[in-house]
Amino acid sequence: MGNRVKIIGAGIAGLSSGCYLQMNGYETEIYELHNIPGGLCTGWERMGYTFDGCVHWLVGSSPENNFYSLWNELINMKRQKFVDHEIYNRIWDKNGNKYIDFYTDVDKLESELLEKAPEDESLIISFTRAIRRLKTLKMPVNKAREVMGPLDGIKTLIKFLPYINTFRKWHKLSIEDFSVKFENPLLREGIRALFVPEMAMLFILMNMAWMANKGAGYPIGGSLKLSGNIADRYEKLGGKIYYNQRVEKILTYEGKAKGIKLASGEEKSADFVVSAGDGFNTIFNMLDGKFKDKKIDKYYDKYKVFPSFMQVSLGLKREMNGIEPNQYLPVPGNLKIDDLTTINYLGLRIFNFDNTLAPKGKTTITALIPTKNYKYWIDLKEKDSKKYREEKKRISNRIVEVLEDKFGNIKNNVEVTDVSTPASVIRYTGNWKGSFEGWILTPELGFGQMDKTLPGLDKFFMIGQWVEPGGGLPPAMMSGRAVAQMICKKENKEFITKSF
């Protein structure tokens, strides 16, 4: 038995695995290519403003949600403040005159939708009934499926049995497929705006059920604070993080992982290697594609990944109190993003509910724009940096105009402008195709999960969004916890945890 573990990546999955392995007596080190922890769960500071690039809600924000106890093993949940939004999203019509509010309270949601779109009553009732049904679901989260025995499997199945029909119905239907069933054009647009349109409806229903239970609130301080708190927990448990360290290769010998090789050429030996980094880079570059099978190839050849996003962030030297924070605004005349992407709507977040992200009397705003051609931005940055800057400025100026028309008193109060592109995502995280999460949980993909091990390679594990279709913070955290349980089981050790 050996207790030295090298972990690639200080995102939520890597930090989580490090914490749990430290709790169980392992000596761990994390190697991170960026200079801060968090991976994709990140934010950045500009002239006193913080621009959040990830967390919209955290499933497990209240003790009534089963994920709460797991987060409380990584951060002190009693000290973390949360905001439960009354409205998940406000959807405006194309003229910017009428809107529909998607309330997090299911009764208010039903009343609002029926009032604004009475012609779609049967679909609305079906939608809200499913949310109410899933409100009673308690996810079994304590024991990883990889270490479950037959009895554990039976107990889990029994817990899910009352929800099987709901799962089957809504997992077969994508958000896009459900949206086209509505007659009301504004409600149709609102359903599409719930999340990535290719995503299975079951995902959004579960999230809305958690929000209805006030168990998926926004953590004050956002992604930077959340990631920083977990990193602090890891280091206090005795773990070490090495920043600005790109892992180039995973060292193997006779079918076993033996350590890692850094871009500097330095080699680090290990008894176990855990990759919480990009899946494609791990399998096809760090391991030279030597440890894969047809199932893995199918994922990378066939299944859809979340798009990459541009994020336009603004620091305003004014308050935006009384304005709904989450909005989906029409873009008059449309806005061309790249040669494959033109948008007519804009997802907006006004952070008037988190005064830690801006100086007093000021406000942070972010706009997310999905892109269909991530390569365009990478090539542009590499080949024509001047045009790259000009295009970012063109898009941000247009968004300021949209906000000026809608809210007024915006343009003259813009103090900071920042634009992140797919090239930024790849630069700081190395994520394949600049994807913001990983595999989209489509109806076609089903409930499948990738294995956390690779065929023919012992002493190695993969964790994070590339083995957890659907992505998100809880699956990332749980995959890190799971791999600690798997290593403990492999070495006949009892898995233990420590809560705050």
- Is the pLDDT at 442 greater than 80? The verdict is yes
What is the per-residue DSSP string for 62-100? Answer: STTSTHHHHHTTTS-TTT--EE--SEEEEEE-TTSS-EE
Residues 323 and 422 in one domain: yes
Residues 275 and 374 in one domain: no
Residues 32 and 175 in one domain: no
Inter-residue contact 188 to 119 (CB < 8 Å): no
pLDDT digits (tens, 9 = 90+) for 160-201: 999 999 999 999 999 999 999 999 999 999 999 999 999 999
Sheet with 256-262, edge to edge strand ranges: 247-253, 256-262, 267-269
Q: Among 207, 242, 257, where does a domain finish? A: 207
d(CA 399, CA 334) in angstroms, rounded, equals 11
Inter-residue contact 370 to 404 (CB < 8 Å): no
Q: Among 388, 403, 432, where does a domain finish? A: 432
Confirm whether pTM is higher than 0.85.
yes
DSSP H or E run through 334 = strand 326-338
Residues 420 and 345 in one domain: yes
Residue 64 covered by a domain? no
pLDDT digits (tens, 9 = 90+) for 219-232: 999 999 999 999 99
- Helix 106-116 to helix 185-192 angle (10° resolution) is 140
Please give the share of the chain, as a percent, with pLDDT higher than 70.
Answer: 100
pLDDT of residue 2: 72
Instruction: Name the residue among 191, 214, 182 with its Cα closest to residue 328.
Output: 191
Residues 290 and 322 in one domain: no
Q: What is the CATH number of the domain that holds 460?
A: 3.50.50.60
Instruction: Name the residue among 294, 273, 399 with its Cα closest to residue 348.
Output: 399
Inter-residue contact 32 to 42 (CB < 8 Å): no
Instruction: Name the residue among 275, 244, 199, 213 with its Cα closest to residue 59.
Output: 213
Residue 78 covered by a domain? no
Residue 74 covered by a domain? no
Residues 255 and 321 in one domain: no
CA–CA distances in Å: residue 418 to residues 52, 255, 326, 340, 376? 11, 46, 19, 23, 19
- Helix 12-23 to helix 222-236 angle (10° resolution) is 20
Residues 459 and 416 in one domain: no
Residue 135 covered by a domain? yes
pLDDT of residue 449: 76
Residues 371 and 428 in one domain: yes
In sequence order, the 6+-apart residues with CB closer than 8 A to the CB of 288 are none
Average pLDDT, the chain: 96
Q: What is the pLDDT confidence band of residue 304, given thresholds at 50, 70 and 90?
A: very high
Residues 322 and 427 in one domain: yes
Average pLDDT over residues 487-499: 96
d(CA 49, CA 400) in angstroms, rounded, equals 17
Average pLDDT over residues 263-273: 97
pLDDT of residue 1: 58
Residues 297 and 238 in one domain: yes
- Is the pLDDT at 52 greater than 90? The verdict is yes
Helix, coil or strand: residue 367: strand
pLDDT of residue 256: 97
- Is the pLDDT at 320 greater than 80? The verdict is yes
pLDDT of residue 445: 86
Residues 200 and 264 in one domain: no
d(CA 414, CA 416) in angstroms, rounded, equals 6
Q: Among 152, 181, 207, where does a domain finish? A: 207
pLDDT digits (tens, 9 = 90+) for 350-379: 999 999 999 999 999 999 999 999 999 999
Residue labelled with tokens 């988190």: 354
Residues 131 and 199 in one domain: yes
Other beta carbons within 10 angstroms of residue 266's beta carbon come to 10
Average pLDDT over residues 330-358: 96
pLDDT digits (tens, 9 = 90+) for 139-166: 889 999 999 999 988 988 898 999 999 9
pLDDT of residue 446: 75
Residue 389 covered by a domain? yes
Residue 415 covered by a domain? yes
Domain count, the chain: 3
**Domain membership of residue 11 as a residue range:** 4-40+221-304+439-490
Residue 297 covered by a domain? yes
Residue 115 covered by a domain? yes
Q: What is the pLDDT confidence band of residue 471, given thresholds at 50, 70 and 90?
A: confident
What are the DSSP E strand ranges found in 339-407?
341-350, 363-371
